[in-house]
Amino acid sequence: MQQAELLSPTTGWALIAGLGIFMTIIAVVVRLRLVRNTKDYIIANRKVGLGFGVGAVIAVWTWSMAIVMSAASAYTWGLSGLLWFTVPNGIAIIVLAPLAVRLRKIVPNGYTIPDYVRKRFDSPLAAGIATLVMLVALLFSILINLKGTVLVTSAVFGLDQIAVLTVVLVIVTAYSYLGGLWTSTITGTINTLLILVPLAVIVLFALDAVGGPEGVFTSLEQANPVYLSIFSAEAAAAFGLTLSLGLLGASISDQSFWQKAWAVKPQHLSRTFIWGGSLFYPIPIVAGILGLVGLASGVTLAEIGGDAASIGPYVLVRLGLPALLVALYVLVVLNASYSTIDGAFAAISSLISVNVLVPLFPRLRAKPLFTLTKLSIVLFGIAAGAIVLSGWDFVSLVLLAQALNASILVPLLLTITWRRITGAGFSWGIVLAVVIGLTVRWAYGELAGILTITAVSTLVPVALGLLSKREFDFADFTRRLGENREIEARINDSAAAQQA
């Protein structure tokens, strides 16, 4: 491989700003043509079709870190690493299909998971905990995506990290503010195209640049035949099991997906998540090939600054590919980053509107409700920027996010499927899991921590549920919800909201 040479920073800024301007134009069109009130803004009037649903689900789930981490997994563990990174990622989306259908049957006109939790348990505390966990998880997903963007833009263009973070945040906050879920869905679908297709072309040119895959294959075989085996147990033990639990927690605790579960037309619901999970698979697999090229070329960890996540951009820059192809790779990462941040903002707006503004300010009219809902996006954009500028360690952030996601996983599954779970079981399950699990993780490491969190968050709600004599009647609950459409009435006042 040749010596690495950075591309012009101007090209980097042009990519960041150009993609932002393109998405903003789409957001303006969407805002003018599709968004008339808070209901359009936070739930897209429940009119999202199959194509937009699938495209948006893939976009939200494709984190910028997923593109660089799939290459990192392959670089570190070979094909078994790629397998353990890829398969649980898709499953985490596919399992949402039956859950989303079940939840949509129970609450046909729902908005957010915490709202369902509040109504099911009649407990503002349980709803408050769910809201807090979900908001923090969304904030973390924004930060982690910013990290991926910074990693790639600094490796390829040598851009200043703080400047990139600030500009990306401002751009995505601005266009997310304009159209809410509709914008996120439509821009996300375009982001998915700009991830899937260029990535395939880039990787094929990269294989061509190294003289074809035959050399890579032989090098890997000679270096260590285990690199070409998908059945190595080493990768599973090292990160596969922890990652699988973390990913399940991440998807199930992510309001971005539940928001879509209530926004997609009911006849397309199950297909949206199954197709979304299935069509997501090529992204990490194709991106992972770059990690294998780096591994076969003998790139050392020291050469890439000790961070395996840098292997993808490093390989492309070192291969001496045309600048256009390297820039295209950065565009893929930017699309992944923008779409997830944008999806997180849309989810935040729904949580703030339905779970904070509506219950706390019962007399708030449609116009200020719509305005405040949109402003919540700006507020979280500023919060994300402040956290980044404070220099908080990203690794700690990722681990904390994983712990929070894992703590809500089982209580949430039980809330959707089990008659016996109580509000106390839900709340204490999450709180104790976080407190005990984080302590165990601090003392005994990541795997012990996440297993403890999962165990405590399972045992507490199950034990309290079994001790309780009450059985929840889902059918009666659905009937009662059908008679009470308070939130619907408040957020669906188009005329008043139009003026906002």
Partner 1 sequence: MNYAITASILAVIVAAAYLYHVYSALEVSIRESHGAQEEDADWQHEASIDYRVLSSIAGSTLLIFLLSAAPVFWWLVPFSGIAAAVGIIVAFRLERRPEAARVD
- Report if residue 336 touches partner 1, rule: CB under 8 A: no
In the list 72, 99, 135, 199, the residue contacting partner 1 (rule: CB under 8 A) is 199
In the list 1, 91, 432, 448, the residue contacting partner 1 (rule: CB under 8 A) is 91
Binders of partner 1: how many residues, by CB under 8 A?
A: 78
Fill in the per-residue mask, 178 to 197: x = in contact with partner 1 (CB under 8 A), - = not in contact: ----x---x--xx-xx--xx
- Report if residue 139 touches partner 1, rule: CB under 8 A: no
In the list 60, 83, 137, 436, the residue contacting partner 1 (rule: CB under 8 A) is 83
182 within 8 A of 33, measured Cβ to Cβ: no
In the list 68, 269, 331, 450, the residue contacting partner 1 (rule: CB under 8 A) is 269
142 within 8 A of 344, measured Cβ to Cβ: yes
Place of tokens 């109580």: 422
Find the radius of gyration of the CA atoms of the chain: 23
Query: 8 or 109, CB closer to partner 1?
Result: 109
Q: Is 484 left (phi over 0), alpha (psi -120 to 50) or beta?
A: beta
81 within 8 A of 73, measured Cβ to Cβ: yes
Q: From CA 313, how far away is CA 4, in angstroms rounded?
A: 10
Task: Enumerate the β-bridge partners of residue 264.
Answer: 48
Closest CA to 215 of 315, 296, 121: 296
Length of the chain: 500
Query: 1 or 228, CB closer to partner 1?
Result: 228
Fill in the per-residue mask, 162 to 181: x = in contact with partner 1 (CB under 8 A), - = not in contact: --------------------
- Report if residue 472 touches partner 1, rule: CB under 8 A: no
What are the residues whose beta carbons fall under 8 Å from the beta carbon of 321, sequence distance 6 or more? Answer: 202, 205, 206, 209
Closest CA to 369 of 217, 486, 194: 486
Angle separating helix axes 323-351 and 64-77, nearest 10 degrees: 120
Q: Which of positions 17-36 make contact with partner 1 (CB under 8 A)? A: 30, 33-34, 36
What are the residues whose beta carbons fall under 8 Å from the beta carbon of 298, sequence distance 6 or more? Answer: 219, 223
- Report if residue 198 touches partner 1, rule: CB under 8 A: yes
Q: Which of positions 200-239 make contact with partner 1 (CB under 8 A)? A: 200-201, 203-205, 207-208, 212-214, 216-218, 228-230
Fill in the per-residue mask, 60 to 79: x = in contact with partner 1 (CB under 8 A), - = not in contact: -------------------x
> Cβ of residue 80: shortest distance to partner 1, in angstroms?
9
> Cβ of residue 213: shortest distance to partner 1, in angstroms?
3
In the list 28, 101, 241, 375, the residue contacting partner 1 (rule: CB under 8 A) is 101
- Report if residue 51 touches partner 1, rule: CB under 8 A: yes
Q: Which of positions 354-393 make contact with partner 1 (CB under 8 A)? A: none
Q: What burial letters (b/e) apply to 288-311, b meaning 16+ CB within 10 Å? A: bbbbbbbbbbebeeeebeeebbbb
145 within 8 A of 445, measured Cβ to Cβ: no
Stretch that binds partner 1, among 5-13, 91-99, 141-149, 418-426 (CB under 8 A): 91-99
Q: From CA 410, how far away is CA 433, in angstroms rounded?
A: 11
87 within 8 A of 95, measured Cβ to Cβ: no
What are the residues whose beta carbons fall under 8 Å from the beta carbon of 266, sequence distance 6 or more? Answer: 104, 108
> Cβ of residue 230: shortest distance to partner 1, in angstroms?
6
Closest CA to 106 of 426, 474, 487: 474
> Cβ of residue 48: shortest distance to partner 1, in angstroms?
8
In the list 248, 283, 388, 409, the residue contacting partner 1 (rule: CB under 8 A) is 283
Q: Which of positions 246-265 make contact with partner 1 (CB under 8 A)? A: 265
- Report if residue 105 touches partner 1, rule: CB under 8 A: yes
> Cβ of residue 208: shortest distance to partner 1, in angstroms?
5
- Report if residue 346 touches partner 1, rule: CB under 8 A: no
In the list 69, 103, 274, 464, the residue contacting partner 1 (rule: CB under 8 A) is 274
- Report if residue 397 touches partner 1, rule: CB under 8 A: no
> Cβ of residue 498: shortest distance to partner 1, in angstroms?
13
- Report if residue 277 touches partner 1, rule: CB under 8 A: yes
Query: 58 or 309, CB closer to partner 1?
Result: 58
> Cβ of residue 467: shortest distance to partner 1, in angstroms?
33
Query: 328 or 453, CB closer to partner 1?
Result: 328
> Cβ of residue 262: shortest distance to partner 1, in angstroms?
11
Query: 106 or 146, CB closer to partner 1?
Result: 106
In the list 281, 418, 472, 474, the residue contacting partner 1 (rule: CB under 8 A) is 281
In the list 17, 21, 25, 108, the residue contacting partner 1 (rule: CB under 8 A) is 108
> Cβ of residue 220: shortest distance to partner 1, in angstroms?
9
Q: From CA 274, how far away is CA 294, in angstroms rounded?
A: 32
- Report if residue 322 touches partner 1, rule: CB under 8 A: no
